[in-house]
Structure 1
């Protein structure tokens, strides 16, 4: 059964390029309710822990360096079918393959600097949300 929450991060590239407001507007226009949000920066240790699932992959070091280089916006979003609908909204990981109008098509600059993160499953949405937010920071 699908839950109605997902997790996202507006990544350092999109923050640096001034796209926070436009991305949040796309998220809200698509019917997502923001139930938690913070402007923060991942330390190298935080980025390593968050992306530990990828530690054996060749891009892990580059990913950790990228995600800890500057501020991010972390958020928990609520909507029916949240995980799947958000993945559709953000588009393919590679912005060149992303559908027109998707967040990555509009705001990503490359495969590795792709503007936003979106949870890929209900289980990971819960894990990732809990990584960034305590229960008292998430509002119903």
Structure 2
């Protein structure tokens, strides 16, 4: 199968952080996360040092907020979560709302930062800005993570019904016709030779019938 024909519906991953000012509400927030259609792939409670916070927020280095940000984020435990769903990055950002919790309360009163945050700095939650930012941040919090988009249930079902099942049915039909001595080995060889994702190479004249 040519890659361009693969259904391009992907489940994204994003990093969520429950910050020190909202850590006592972690269970409540996680329950909301699950009800919002996310799957929690990884979860870790930890207490970062100021140096670790500085590394995590390296893109903020040199800004006036940087010292206060690293001091706040290292002031107590946090909960890091790897979340997954379709359009995870954008959806999580929309749920947590604007960075400034006070302004969020005025413009997005239903968002999580309006509910749990108290200021621009103490805004309760973090969300990755982009897929590439999520990749870096998840690897920072969960060092052994491999970040790759994975197909949604709908895309996987479409792929199976369009490419896998017809090929497997054809192979099993041929297996019944040939009745080989070692059916497992025969079927494995047949599937390798008839892989729909690879071009067929014919010896001699191609049968066009």
Same fold (TM over 0.5): yes
Q: Distance in 2 between matches of 1:136 and 1:47?
A: 19
Between Structure 1 and Structure 2, which shows a larger proportion of helix residues?
2
Task: Tell me if 1:86 matches 2:95.
Answer: no
Match of 2:101 in 1: 95
Match of 2:19 in 1: 11
Q: Name segments (4+ residues, structure 1) moved above 6 Å.
A: none
Q: Distance in 1 between matches of 2:142 and 2:127?
A: 16
SS in 1 for 2:37: coil
Counterpart contact for 1:6–1:83, Cα < 8 Å: yes
TM-score of the superposition, structure 2-length normalised?
A: 0.62
How do residues 100-111 of structure 1 correspond to structure 2 at under 5 angstroms?
100-111=109-120
Match of 1:55 in 2: 61
Match of 2:45 in 1: 39
Task: Tell me if 1:115 matches 2:121.
Answer: no
Counterpart contact for 1:104–1:116, Cα < 8 Å: yes
Q: 1:3 offset after TM fit, Å?
A: 5.7
Counterpart contact for 2:139–2:145, Cα < 8 Å: no
Counterpart contact for 1:87–1:118, Cα < 8 Å: yes
Q: Which has the higher contact order (CA 8 A, sep 6+)?
A: 1
Q: For each residue in 1:77-99, what CA deviation from the matched residue of structure 2 results, as whole angstroms up to 9, or x when unmatched?
A: 00000000000000111112221
Match of 1:64 in 2: 70
Counterpart contact for 2:96–2:125, Cα < 8 Å: yes
Q: 1:100 offset after TM fit, Å?
A: 2.1
Provide the alpha-carbon RMSD of the alignment. 1.9
Q: Which runs of 5+ in 2 are unaligned?
A: 1-7, 151-209
How do residues 16-27 of structure 1 correspond to structure 2 at under 5 angstroms?
18-27=24-33
Aligned length: 137
Q: Distance in 1 between matches of 2:90 and 2:146?
A: 24
Q: Distance in 1 between matches of 2:18 and 2:115?
A: 13
